[in-house]
Chains A and B, each alone.
Chain A
Amino acid sequence: MSELVAIFFGMALVNNMVLVKFLGLCPFFGVSKNLSSAFSMGVAVLLVMLVASAVTWPLFHILLVPSGVEFMRTVIFILVIASLVQIIEMAIKRTNLTLYNALGIYLPLITTNCAVLGITFINIDNEYSFLGSIAAALGAGAGFTLVLVIMSGIRERLDLADTPKVFRGAPIAFIIAGLLGLAFLAFGGMVG
């Protein structure tokens, strides 16, 4: 159990997807301009990461490895993710329209989110157990959402501030991401 908690916090904070592993940057800069859309995107990503990990891990270990076709990993995983996103989108649309209106538009974007494909690779490369992969996916998604929410909060404030013209928009967002990354270094030692 403590191993799982360690993986969760490790993925969420110490090796944060966005700030340390550079995964999920496109939505990070595109969506993080206001808090509610940032939160919705984060939750959507968490959901997809969870399902994707739950499906790709068994697929890899029970199907690909015994057949000796590990090299098909990239093709299979991305196809799985693309399909999952479609299915999840349809499922949400049919069961909960309010949820769909909140999350739905972000879902197609998630297919090309490197963080989702990234976590499926990380689960394999770090040799996690099935439960470990789930913990990792939860952690990665939580960390992603956390950073997105913090970033959007900061950017909302920044809109009101007097940023130098050349820095407005993307440049200052990157610099803030860097500063956030510095701050997150403080989490080292939590997991040890």
Chain B
Amino acid sequence: MARKRSAAYPIVFLTLVVLFSVVALTLVNEVTEERIAANKREAIKQMLAALFPEMADFTQDEESGLYSLFDASAVVTDEETGETSVLSGSLPIGYAFMTDGRGYGGKIGILVGLEVDRAVRGIRIISHQETPGLGAKITQLSFLDQFAGLSTGELAIRRDGGAVDAITGATISSRAVAEGVVQGIVDMTAALEAVGEEGP
């Protein structure tokens, strides 16, 4: 097909296509942005609720990532939108944070829940790359429930002098979880102190 177009035509065409793309995507992003943020929040809420069934809502400290959890008495529901928000000055019923452990196959994402007195409420595994059938058993409640109520000194597997029974055949994975929890508490201590005093 003969084309009497300048040599710049291909570049102009491509630039137009890219422009269309940017416009289209910006539009789609506008439409979906809020829903996506809401979905993410809901996913976190469900994870936190696994540890704190009485929780009604939470706030997150922007800098440290520490979650402060509140029960229904501190939460207000907007009649129209159904959105919940936390009354300022409320006292949290607990705290939670995400931390990592260095596992067998890579990073283990751990959610740690703490009571107001800093004792461990419980932990949940968010993500991991451990071996199925062995290290992957760290997601089982029978392993995770051991962490509830332990003090910092007891947060290690028995072999390391702690109170947690490691999973048979998955010492490394078990140890990674325990160490991850301890390290997380250490890292969060400053943030915990700050929030405890100020409120949400």
Contact = CB atoms under 8 A, between A and B. Distances in A.
Interface of A: 6, 10, 14-15, 69, 71-72, 75, 79, 126, 185, 188-189, 191-192
Interface residues of B, number: 20
B25 A72 contact: yes
A64 B105 CA distance: 31
Interface in B150-176: 172-173, 176
Contacts of A126: 107
B25 A188 contact: no
A10 B106 contact: yes
Contacts of B104: 188-189, 191-192
A75 B106 contact: no
B131 interface: yes
Contact of B29 (A14, A15, A71, A191): A71
B27 to A, nearest CB: 11
B105 A15 contact: yes
Contacts of A185: 131
Contact of A192 (B18, B26, B29, B172): B172
Contact of B106 (A71, A79, A191): A191
Majority-rule SS of B interface residues: helix
Contacts of A14: 105-106, 129
Contact of B25 (A10, A71, A189): A71
A15 B25 contact: no
Contact of A188 (B26, B107, B131): B131
A126 B108 CA distance: 12
B103 interface: yes
A71 B21 CA distance: 11
Nearest to A6: B102
A192 B129 contact: no
B22 interface: yes
Nearest to B130: A188
B176 A192 contact: yes
B131 A192 contact: no
Given A15-B129, A189-B172, A72 B22 contact: yes
Contacts of A69: 26, 29
Interface in B123-167: 129-131, 135
Contacts of B105: 10, 14-15, 188, 191-192
Contacts of A192: 102-105, 172-173, 176
Contacts of B18: 75, 79
A69 B25 CA distance: 9
- Which 7 A/B pairs are nearest by Cβ-Cβ distance? A192-B104, A192-B172, A71-B29, A189-B104, A188-B131, A188-B104, A188-B105
Contacts of B129: 14-15
A189 B172 CA distance: 8
A189 B102 CA distance: 10
Given A69-B26, A79-B18, 12 more contacts: A14-B106, A15-B105, A15-B106, A71-B25, A71-B29, A75-B18, A126-B107, A188-B104, A188-B105, A189-B104, A191-B105, A192-B173
27 contacts: A10-B106, A14-B106, A14-B129, A15-B106, A69-B29, A71-B25, A72-B22, A72-B25, A75-B25, A79-B18, A185-B131, A188-B105, A188-B130, A188-B131, A188-B135, A189-B104, A189-B172, A191-B102, A191-B104, A191-B105, A192-B102, A192-B103, A192-B104, A192-B105, A192-B172, A192-B173, A192-B176
